Structure 1
Amino acid sequence: MPLLMVAIGIVALLILIMGLKLNTFVSLIIVSFGVAILLGMPLDSIVSSIEAGLGGTLGHLALIFGLGAMLGKLITDAGGAQRIAMTFVNKFGEKNIQWAVVFASFVIGIALFFEVGLVLLIPIVFAISRQLKVSILYLGIPMATALSVTHGFLPPHPGPTVIAGEYGADLGEVLLYGMIIAIPTVIIAGPIFTKVAQKLVPEAFNREGDIASLGEQKQFELDETPGFGISVFTAMLPVILIAISTIITLFQEMMGAEASGFLTVINLIGNASTAMVISLLVAIYTMGIARNIPMKNVMDSCSAAITQIGMMLLIIGGGGAFKQVLIDGGVGDYVAQLFEGTSMSPILLAWIIAAILRISLGSATVAALTTVGLVVPLLGQSDVNLALMVLSTGAGSLVASHVNDAGFWMFKEYFGLSMKETFGTWTILETLISVVGLAFILLFSMFV
């Protein structure tokens, strides 16, 4: 019966969020209490389980998420993101404009969360499309692909970061493998899929779009912005530090070298939290002090960034609470027993569960965290690579974005699409990212 109790909880969550329009965080906490009772958990342990799930999830993520939001805000407010985008556009030229958008969106997507990157890049895409007289969707699909892939696969984004923490996976490995898988996924789901979408819904590529809801966007003259090199360096610094630490550690393990003081320092610097602190300090200098921006303005940007992510942090914490209830209520152990002795790969199972929950709930983060609660007990029965488990869970949580996902409506409204056209572009795009990502993860699992 445990899976029936989970199904009842998911239906209740849908009713609360979509039917009664209740806040997602509040809905998750209510459902966590309800499912805990249905699962027969001792009444005096329910609150402690919910608190442990919420605190454990945010304890791992809050520092990285908060500092990441500040870093992205500083780069945006200084004009660094605009410099990155326009430099790629100028270098690639009109003939290769799609690839310019892909590269710019990928670099910016590493530093900025999906919604922030979308709001920042859409006005630039609209301006380029008007200037070159090309369809906004022709540029918009590659842009959305790069942002979605970085958001779903690459730390320090909240999804892969929190899943890695729950599975106990090495964040550096997740980043390294995520990069290898992300690049071909972006190419297939971006420029290549655009050609297919032009045949599937050709009328969508004639839309003019509407970004009036974004309000007045700050535009910089290029000579007012930081240099391209320093902008890219600042945006990529967390990834660089984590990657260097991971590569050095892998070489050390391959050569059988003993741990040393040097490696300890490298591991400290390459820890995601430390990397974000260092990167933020560098950004305060490169995007603020070096450009004679008053420290008050720099700190105002940091404060605004935290204000914008407050509710998202609570929602992630609520997802962690629900996940913990599933574990403490024995649902995960029940799932493990069901699949005991099965030949199905845990990577595939995690993707399937995350995909079902994503289609049901809409929220990729909640789907991923709920999946963790169901599959964690399976990991003790398998020697599966934990980093690939993180990526497969993230991939599953991206699939088939539709009417219960905020991203669906953002894409529809900004690009002025009908429902049919949004399903034919955005929904298929997200599904393609998920499926192609899974295919590369399964392929990669044969070698690691």
Structure 2
Amino acid sequence: MEPIDPVYGTTTLLLIAAGAVALLLVLIIGVKLHAFISLVLVSLVTAIVVGFDLAEIPDVLLFGFADTIGSVALLVAFGVMLGRLLEVTGGAQVLADTLIGRFGEKRAPFALGVAALIFGFPIFFDAGLVVFLPIILTVARRFGGSLLYYALPAAGAFAAMHAIVPPHPGPVAAAQQIGADIGLTLLVGLPIAVLAWYVGVYLVSRFLGARIYVPVADVVFGQAEDGQGADDSLGQGPPPFGVVLMLLLIPLVLISFDTVLDTLVATGTLEEAGWIDFLGLLGQTPVALLITVLVAIFVLGRPNASMARITTILDHALGPICAIILITGAGGMFGGVLELSGIGAALSSSLSDLGMSLILQAFVIATLLRVAQGSATVALTTTGGLIAAPAAAADLGQVQLTLLVVAIAAGATVLSHVNDSGFWLVSRFFQMDEKTTLKTWTVMETTLGVSAFAIAAVLWMLL
């Protein structure tokens, strides 16, 4: 669907969006109404208030919901299946023990973050998070303390790579719009992303973890089967480290087929061909995770367990994630309503000439679009389109164009809140209520984005 022509001016639309967010927070935090019901209700009310034709409102609501749930449901389902198999066979414990043995107990959160930075290079944020979830929870259970110590470094690493570094689609699209070289964007964006992660995520997670206690819950993957421990629930010992690593590398390699090949085709390095389409199909996140789950069933489960037993374990893993999928989809619904309301177009027209330096303008526009409608991808692509003309007129060098891409990505990262489906994914995966998620995840996303922008701005001034 296309955004409607705004019925109201930019200021009124922004007030409506702010009022909708405030109402949602009151319903969830104050009234304690279920988040799924609250999100659907506020989405409906917002769609009416902004002036959608009443007959079109069901389609408007389904626009964001179907788009979000269509991708999230499959990857979350396959991800928790893989996670449960790793958990009940002791595979997650093996990987956690290996990481801790290499980095040491005190550096376990840092080790999780570094591993997530590596795996996050080709893997999207949500896919990486769901695959890493059993490892995060296993390490957190072993050492205790607030889950934030272990969850935020890993989740923030996936967020940093997804937002800033090609071949992820957001920075690739922004680079193409403003004429930045994608290869140089990768070379410049990668060290900025890593440094921003260390300052804005890892150090911040230590600060937040010391002040906010989030207990470790195992509800995502279900309870231990028949009261048995993870190692013997399938009647076998834990798998070797090499097997566990192979299972994690399968989606990494397959998904990289899609993201890397798409980038090479977009830059003209490769031409469209049948084998590229086939590898791209294998690299689609749901297909890659399906293949990984099938391999895990036969490598981890089948040697000593019947298919009926494995099916029971997978069934128990799927049950608890229904709420996660529905709430995340409803968060996408709310963001979709705001996107189609025309608030992006209204903001774009009013922010096209802010009278400030180009790199600051890029950051501010992306930030306001991100806060207003929730989608980081929309904020990235819209801002890229707005900045393209003044960037061309300024006759910037390639490094400066790359720094503009980083600034746009930084603005599209900050202030993840209730109109962002990723906010709800993190909230439900880590069993945090909305208030706690705002005080932790939202703060961390903001410090990550601000850190990335600060680095880019300093380099901009030095050139």
TM over 0.5: yes
Residue in structure 2 matched with residue 278 of structure 1 by the alignment: 291
For the 8 Å contact 1:189–1:429, the answer to whether it is kept is yes
Cα distance 1:116–1:21, how it changes in 2: closer, same or farther (>3 A)?
farther
Cα distance 1:116–1:168, how it changes in 2: closer, same or farther (>3 A)?
farther
For the 8 Å contact 1:54–1:318, the answer to whether it is kept is yes
Residue in structure 2 matched with residue 149 of structure 1 by the alignment: 156
For the 8 Å contact 1:185–1:436, the answer to whether it is kept is yes
Counterpart among 355, 358, 374 of residue 368 in structure 1: 374
Residue in structure 1 matched with residue 322 of structure 2 by the alignment: 310
Counterpart among 96, 117, 121 of residue 139 in structure 2: 121
| Cα deviation, residue 120, structure 1 | 2.9
Return the letter of the residue paired with 2:140.
Answer: I
Pair 1:349 & 2:365 matched: yes
Residue in structure 1 matched with residue 57 of structure 2 by the alignment: 46
| Cα deviation, residue 382, structure 1 | 4.4
The whole-number CA distance in structure 1 between the counterparts of 2:70 and 2:108 is: 42
Residue in structure 1 matched with residue 35 of structure 2 by the alignment: 24
1:164-199 deviations in Å (ceiling 9; x for gaps): 6xx9999xx9xx89976664445445765688x5xx
For the 8 Å contact 1:9–1:31, the answer to whether it is kept is yes
For the 8 Å contact 2:93–2:135, the answer to whether it is kept is no
Counterpart among 303, 306, 325 of residue 337 in structure 2: 325
1:324-383 deviations in Å (ceiling 9; x for gaps): 3223322222112111234455455334554x57xxxxxxxxx734x6677765554345
| Cα deviation, residue 82, structure 1 | 0.6
Cα distance 1:256–1:433, how it changes in 2: closer, same or farther (>3 A)?
closer
The whole-number CA distance in structure 1 between the counterparts of 2:283 and 2:455 is: 26
Return the letter of the residue paired with 2:416.
Answer: S
1:140-168 deviations in Å (ceiling 9; x for gaps): 6652332321453467xxxxxx996xx99
TM-score normalised per structure 1: 0.69
Pair 1:381 & 2:386 matched: yes
Cα distance 1:150–1:284, how it changes in 2: closer, same or farther (>3 A)?
farther
Residue in structure 1 matched with residue 300 of structure 2 by the alignment: 287
The whole-number CA distance in structure 1 between the counterparts of 2:217 and 2:60 is: 45
Return the letter of the residue paired with 1:112.
Answer: V
The whole-number CA distance in structure 2 between the counterparts of 1:25 and 1:209 is: 22
Residue in structure 1 matched with residue 250 of structure 2 by the alignment: 237
| Cα deviation, residue 257, structure 1 | 3.8
| Cα deviation, residue 302, structure 1 | 2.4
Coordinate RMSD, CA, aligned: 4.9
Residue 374 of structure 2 aligns to a residue whose secondary structure is helix
Return the letter of the residue paired with 1:263.
Answer: I
Q: What fraction of aligned residue pairs are identical, expressed as a percent?
A: 26
Return the letter of the residue paired with 1:393.
Answer: A
| Cα deviation, residue 434, structure 1 | 4.3
The whole-number CA distance in structure 2 between the counterparts of 1:87 and 1:76 is: 15
Residue 259 of structure 1 aligns to a residue whose secondary structure is coil
Counterpart among 383, 393, 396 of residue 412 in structure 2: 393
For the 8 Å contact 1:395–1:438, the answer to whether it is kept is no
State how many pairs are aligned. Answer: 395
The whole-number CA distance in structure 1 between the counterparts of 2:112 and 2:321 is: 26
| Cα deviation, residue 86, structure 1 | 0.6
Cα distance 1:43–1:352, how it changes in 2: closer, same or farther (>3 A)?
closer
The whole-number CA distance in structure 2 between the counterparts of 1:83 and 1:373 is: 40
Alignment gaps of 5+ in structure 2: 1-11, 121-127, 163-167, 177-181, 389-400
Alignment gaps of 5+ in structure 1: 127-135, 156-161, 358-366, 413-418
For the 8 Å contact 1:5–1:39, the answer to whether it is kept is yes
Cα distance 1:408–1:234, how it changes in 2: closer, same or farther (>3 A)?
closer
| Cα deviation, residue 21, structure 1 | 0.8
For the 8 Å contact 1:353–1:396, the answer to whether it is kept is no
Residue in structure 2 matched with residue 436 of structure 1 by the alignment: 451
Cα distance 1:124–1:435, how it changes in 2: closer, same or farther (>3 A)?
farther
Residue in structure 2 matched with residue 263 of structure 1 by the alignment: 276
| Cα deviation, residue 92, structure 1 | 3.6
1:99-122 deviations in Å (ceiling 9; x for gaps): 556556778994636875554322
For the 8 Å contact 1:32–1:325, the answer to whether it is kept is yes
Return the letter of the residue paired with 1:309.
Answer: I
The whole-number CA distance in structure 2 between the counterparts of 1:20 and 1:76 is: 36
Q: Where does 1:76-155 land on structure 2 (aligned, <5 Å)?
A: 76-93=87-104, 99-100=110-111, 102=113, 110=128, 112=130, 118-126=136-144, 143-150=150-157, 152-153=159-160
Residue in structure 1 matched with residue 9 of structure 2 by the alignment: none
Cα distance 1:142–1:258, how it changes in 2: closer, same or farther (>3 A)?
same
The whole-number CA distance in structure 2 between the counterparts of 1:439 and 1:213 is: 38
Residue 151 of structure 2 aligns to a residue whose secondary structure is helix
The whole-number CA distance in structure 1 between the counterparts of 2:429 and 2:68 is: 27
Residue in structure 2 matched with residue 129 of structure 1 by the alignment: none
Residue in structure 2 matched with residue 132 of structure 1 by the alignment: none
The whole-number CA distance in structure 1 between the counterparts of 2:290 and 2:326 is: 22
The whole-number CA distance in structure 2 between the counterparts of 1:443 and 1:271 is: 37
1:185-242 deviations in Å (ceiling 9; x for gaps): 45445765688x5xx99xx59x999769989894549x92111121122123212222
Cα distance 1:181–1:336, how it changes in 2: closer, same or farther (>3 A)?
same
Return the letter of the residue paired with 2:153.
Answer: A
For the 8 Å contact 1:336–1:375, the answer to whether it is kept is no
Cα distance 1:2–1:189, how it changes in 2: closer, same or farther (>3 A)?
closer
Cα distance 1:169–1:321, how it changes in 2: closer, same or farther (>3 A)?
farther
Cα distance 1:37–1:441, how it changes in 2: closer, same or farther (>3 A)?
farther
For the 8 Å contact 2:148–2:213, the answer to whether it is kept is no
The whole-number CA distance in structure 2 between the counterparts of 1:350 and 1:265 is: 35
Cα distance 1:268–1:435, how it changes in 2: closer, same or farther (>3 A)?
same
Cα distance 1:433–1:235, how it changes in 2: closer, same or farther (>3 A)?
same
| Cα deviation, residue 88, structure 1 | 2.0
